[in-house]
Amino acid sequence: PGTAHDQAIGYDWHNYRIEIHGARVDFYIDDQLSGRAICQTKTVANGPIKFTVSDIELRMSEFRVVVA
């Protein structure tokens, strides 16, 4: 499991990105690494990935999944 981090996001628009590298999952906010999780198995590449927010209202203008 990964580590949860509190973020002072404010009211501006931000870019969120999740990258999967084998068993490692990196989470970025505005191109800066915000969190990392490493799985004991490689099943993370098969999904699903859960994006969770709490105690805030999150508005998204675009959501993309890119497979390389």
Residue 24 lies in a domain: yes
Its pTM surpasses 0.85: no
Average pLDDT over residues 19-23: 81
67 domain-assigned:
no
Asked if residues 33 and 19 have their Cβ atoms less than 8 Å apart, the reply is no
Q: Give every strand in the sheet of 16-21, ordered side by side.
A: 16-21, 24-29, 32-38
- Alpha-carbon torsion (47, 53, 32, 3), positive or negative: negative
Radius of gyration from C-alpha coordinates of the chain: 13
- Residue 3 pLDDT greater than 60, yes or no: no
In a domain, 18, yes or no: yes
Q: Which residue segment(s) compose the domain that 2 sits in?
A: 1-56
In a domain, 21, yes or no: yes
Is 65 inside any structural domain?
no
12 part of a folded domain: yes
Domain count, the chain: 1
The answer to whether residue 61 is domain-embedded is no
pLDDT at 60: 79
